[in-house]
């Protein structure tokens, strides 16, 4: 019996993504990520001699070697002591595969950092577009990327084989004149709709008009402007090495937790239901 090969679902129309990036003119969020990476590298307090950045915008990294965020990364095994995946992983069709490739490219005890849009990013726009399209056309089509949650992303680090995995998140809110201004800015960031399942015919103008109206009614401020939320998850991990701290074997503790906390120990009854 021949078993069917498992295929990775195609989320991103990569040729369209590349076209979007070629037209990008406003990279302020990508520049913010560059600054975030630089600050975190200072905190690590280690000198990296063979770094590599995976990015869709190499012009933002003039002092570091870069490669494109292709499905198969142009990385050599154990060639780098630092790999940064810079604000591109949210477009990956196979994010675990990307993480595994990065881990294999690291030398033992090399450091990995990925930054990507996730969580509540553009939740306001997603909600308004969905409601508007349902009202006007009676259906829905993919318009904004689905955003992963930080807990799930942290689990991907473990699946990829990283040691000491950590996931944290920071957010920023940008205010716009209206929803049309926001969507124009997303295109200028190179973050326009590049989903493979996107609608391939022009959208009725009434959909966008209704979405803008809903956005203003639901989220508009006293100054007449609307907010757009961007959450960026930062994933970090180390290539396994013998020199790294290891968790103790269960049951090997020399002291009871109750002694350390100075509280009486309460033993649970040996009941099958407990």
Report the alpha-carbon distance of residue 211 to residue 180 in Å, rounded. 9
* Burial classification of residue 4, based on how many CB atoms lie within 10 Å of its CB (0-12 exposed, 13-18 middle, 19 or more buried): exposed
Length of the chain: 274
pLDDT over 50 at 5, yes or no: no
Q: Are 118 and 232 in contact (CB under 8 A)?
A: yes
Every domain of the chain and the residues it spans: 14-243
The model's pLDDT over 20-36, given as tens digits with 9 standing for 90+, comes to 999 999 999 999 999 99
- Provide the pLDDT confidence category of residue 268 given band limits of 50, 70 and 90: low
Superfamily of domain 14-243: Vaccinia Virus protein VP39 (3.40.50.150)
Is residue 272 scored above 70 in pLDDT? Answer: no
pTM of the predicted model as reported, rounded to 2 decimal places: 0.86
pLDDT in tens, 46-75: 999 999 999 999 999 999 999 999 999 999
Contact 144, 179 (CB under 8 A): no
pLDDT score recorded for residue 8: 63
Mean pLDDT of the chain: 91
Average the pLDDT over each of 85-99, 129-143, 224-238, 239-253 and give the range with the smallest value: 239-253
C-beta atoms surrounding 230 within 10 Å = 19
């Amino acid at each position: 019996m021949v078993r069917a090969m498992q295929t990775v679902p195609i989320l991103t129309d990569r040729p369209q993504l590349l076209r979007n990036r070629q037209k990008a003119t406003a990279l302020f969020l990508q520049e913010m990520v560059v600054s975030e990476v630089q600050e975190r590298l200072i905190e690590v307090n280690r000198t990296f001699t063979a770094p590599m950045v995976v990015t869709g915008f190499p012009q933002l990294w003039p002092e570091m070697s870069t490669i494109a965020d292709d499905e198969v990364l142009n990385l050599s095994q154990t060639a780098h002591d630092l790999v940064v995946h810079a604000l591109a992983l949210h477009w990956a069709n196979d994010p675990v595969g990307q993480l595994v490739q990065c881990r294999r490219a690291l030398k033992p005890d090399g450091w990995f950092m990925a930054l990507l849009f996730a969580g509540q990013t553009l939740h306001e726009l997603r909600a308004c577009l969905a409601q508007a399209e349902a009202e006007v056309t009676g259906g829905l089509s993919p318009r904004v990327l689905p955003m992963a949650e930080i807990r799930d992303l942290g689990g991907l680090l473990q699946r990829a084989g990283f040691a000491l995995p950590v996931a944290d998140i920071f957010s920023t809110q940008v205010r716009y004149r209206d929803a049309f201004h926001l969507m124009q800015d997303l295109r200028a960031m190179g973050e326009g709709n590049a989903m493979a399942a996107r609608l391939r015919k022009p959208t009725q103008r009434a959909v966008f008009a209704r979405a803008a109206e809903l956005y203003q009614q639901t989220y508009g401020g006293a100054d007449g402007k609307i907010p757009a939320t961007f959450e960026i998850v930062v994933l970090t991990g180390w290539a396994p090495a013998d020199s790294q701290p290891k968790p103790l074997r269960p049951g090997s503790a020399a002291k009871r937790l109750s002694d350390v906390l100075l509280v009486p120990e309460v033993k649970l009854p040996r009941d099958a239901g407990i």
